[in-house]
């Protein structure tokens, strides 16, 4: 087994795809990597599945008949019990508008079709590690509240360390709280496109590519700051 498929702490992964061949390919790969795998053929079945057994991560096909992946993700993120589950979109739609749409509804990342198994396993492992870091921080009473809107020292630390503007810090705080671009736009009176533009700059300055990775970097920075 190569390094990309090694999983120290297996988790529960829900695969949502209306193509049986994709389900079989991903299920076999994830099973071999040590994960417990749940499957659903459509969005509504996925929502029912989540109610019965909460997965640690969801691989979600963007384009499905009926309830598509974007609306399915939106509903997942609207429920408190499932809002913090990382969702990785699987899509052949690589145009920027579709990528942005996936992030706007709460997606953590995306992989392109045709599926590359090593890439999927690497991204699944990375997002599960980040998710566990966030859960551990909350359990240790070091939640994302460290980035609360009234925490001026936190603002100064983030701004100085990563050369973030005041607006970029505000956007990053709400990203760390799990808000979508649309939610952040409403809160800060910005358009989702403007929020996305700020996020692009934040990702460059933090050296990351996703919302989850940005949150992890910020939590690590704040934890390190408290220890000094």
Domain shared by 127 and 40, yes or no: yes
Looking at the fold, whether 26 and 129 belong to one and the same domain comes out as yes
Q: Do both 120 and 53 map to the same domain? A: yes
Domain count, the chain: 2
**Mind listing the pLDDT tens digit for each residue in 199-223?**
999 999 998 888 878 887 877 777 6
d(CA 136, CA 116): 30
The 8-class DSSP code of residue 180 comes to -
Note the pLDDT of residue 25.
95
Which sign does the torsion angle of CA 176, 181, 185, 186 carry? negative
**Residue from 68, 21, 13 nearest 39 by CA:** 13
- d(Cα 118, Cα 125) in Å, to the nearest integer? 11
Neighbours of 114 (CB within 10 A): 7
Identify the domain containing residue 131 by its residue range: 3-138
Asked if residue 188 lies in contact with residue 93, where contact means CB atoms within 8 angstroms, the answer is: no
pLDDT at 139: 54
CATH number of residue 103's parent domain = 3.40.50.2300
Q: Does 72 share its domain with 178?
A: no
Domain boundary (104, 138, 172) is at 138
The C-alpha angle with vertex 9 and arms to 6 and 13, in degrees rounded to 5, equals 90
Are 43 and 126 found together in one domain? yes
pLDDT for 164 equals 92
Same domain, 58 and 113: yes
Residues 99-132 pLDDT 10s: 788 888 989 888 888 899 999 999 899 888 888 8
Contact in structure between 15 and 37 (CB atoms under 8 Å): yes
Which of 120, 138, 156 marks a domain boundary? 138
Are residue 82 and residue 46 in the same domain, yes or no? yes
CATH number at residue 190: 1.10.10.10
Of 83, 117, 138, which residue constitutes the final position of a domain? 138
Examine the domain organization and report whether 190 and 159 are in the same domain: yes
| Nearest one of 30, 21, 27, 53 to 39, comparing CA atoms | 27
pLDDT (tens digit, 0 to 9) for every residue of the chain, 228 residues total?
Answer: 343 334 346 799 999 999 999 999 999 999 999 999 999 999 999 999 999 999 999 999 999 989 999 999 999 999 988 988 999 999 887 667 777 888 889 898 888 888 999 999 998 998 888 888 776 655 544 444 444 446 566 678 888 889 999 899 888 888 877 677 877 888 788 888 899 899 999 999 998 888 878 887 877 777 666 666
| Domain identity same for 73 and 20 | yes
Clarify whether residues 23 and 134 are in a common domain. Answer: yes
Task: Give the pLDDT confidence score for residue 156 in this predicted structure.
Answer: 81
The C-alpha atoms of residue 169 and residue 177 are separated, in whole angstroms, by 12
Give the residue from 111, 109, 52, 53 showing the smallest Cα distance to 86: 109
User: What does each C-alpha distance from 86 to 66, 128, 130 come to in angstroms?
Assistant: 22, 8, 9
Q: Are residues 131 and 160 in the same domain?
A: no
Compute the distance between CA of residue 87 and CA of residue 128 in angstroms, rounded to an integer: 10
CB 22 within 8 A of CB 65: no
108 in the same domain as 149 = no
Q: Virtual CA dihedral for 35, 38, 39, 42, nearest 10 degrees?
A: -130
């Amino acid at each position: 087994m190569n390094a990309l498929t090694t999983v120290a702490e297996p988790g529960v992964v829900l695969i949502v795809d209306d193509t049986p061949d994709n389900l079989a390919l991903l299920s076999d790969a994830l099973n071999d990597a040590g994960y417990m795998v749940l499957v659903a053929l459509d969005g509504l079945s996925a929502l029912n599945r989540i109610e019965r057994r909460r997965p640690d991560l969801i691989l979600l096909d963007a384009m499905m008949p009926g309830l598509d992946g974007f609306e399915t993700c939106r509903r997942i993120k609207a429920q408190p019990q499932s809002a913090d589950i990382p969702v990785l979109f699987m899509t052949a739609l690589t145009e920027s508008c579709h990528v942005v749409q996936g992030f706007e509804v709460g997606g953590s990342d995306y992989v392109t079709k045709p599926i590359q198994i090593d890439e999927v396993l690497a991204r699944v492992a990375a997002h599960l590690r980040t998710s566990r870091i966030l859960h551990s921080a909350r359990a240790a009473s070091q939640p994302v509240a460290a980035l609360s809107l009234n925490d001026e020292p936190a603002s100064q630390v983030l701004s100085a360390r990563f050369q973030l503007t005041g607006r970029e810090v505000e956007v990053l705080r709400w990203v760390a709280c799990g808000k979508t671009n649309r939610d952040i736009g409403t809160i800060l009176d910005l358009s989702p496109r403007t929020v996305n533009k700020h996020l692009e700059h934040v990702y460059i300055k933090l050296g990351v590519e996703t919302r989850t990775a940005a949150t992890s970097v910020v939590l690590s920075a704040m934890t390190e700051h408290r220890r000094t």
